Amino acid sequence: MNENFKTALVEAGVDVEGSIRRFCGNEGLYEKFLMKFLADDNFDKMEPAFRDNDFDTALIAANTLKGVSANLGINRVYEIASEIVNLIRNEKYEDAKGLYNNFENAYKEIYQIIEHEQR
């Protein structure tokens, strides 16, 4: 993993070192899984689910992204996804919808950093 990529991730709030430890010190494996983050389609399901008040789909997508982002140390995405999951589970649907813009911004920031590295 090159230093510029690592620095960009850290500046975006990613726990790179902790994540590499979770991957048993295998930096290459961690980077491979970061690249797979780009292929996950759960984020694409959230906006239409919220728009259509399909909170079951929104819950599944947010919960999946919560787990993926936790494993990859993508803390901002994890924290907002966790809050969305909790709000939906507590039937606070409008509050969950209200977090979507923050979630989108956090997600897209990481997505763009990883996508840039992949090129």
112 Cβ neighbours under 8 A, 6+ residues apart: none
Instruction: Reduce the DSSP state of residue 92 to 3 states and report it.
Output: coil
Residue 54, burial from CB neighbour count under 10 angstroms (0-12, 13-18, 19+): middle
- Tens of pLDDT along the chain (119 residues)? 899 999 999 999 999 999 999 999 999 999 999 999 999 999 999 999 999 999 999 999 999 999 999 999 999 999 999 999 999 999 999 999 999 999 999 999 999 999 999 87
Q: What is the structure's pLDDT at 119?
A: 79
What is the pTM for the complete model shown? 0.93
Q: What is the structure's pLDDT at 118?
A: 86
Of 80, 101, 66, 74, the C-alpha closest to 12 is: 74
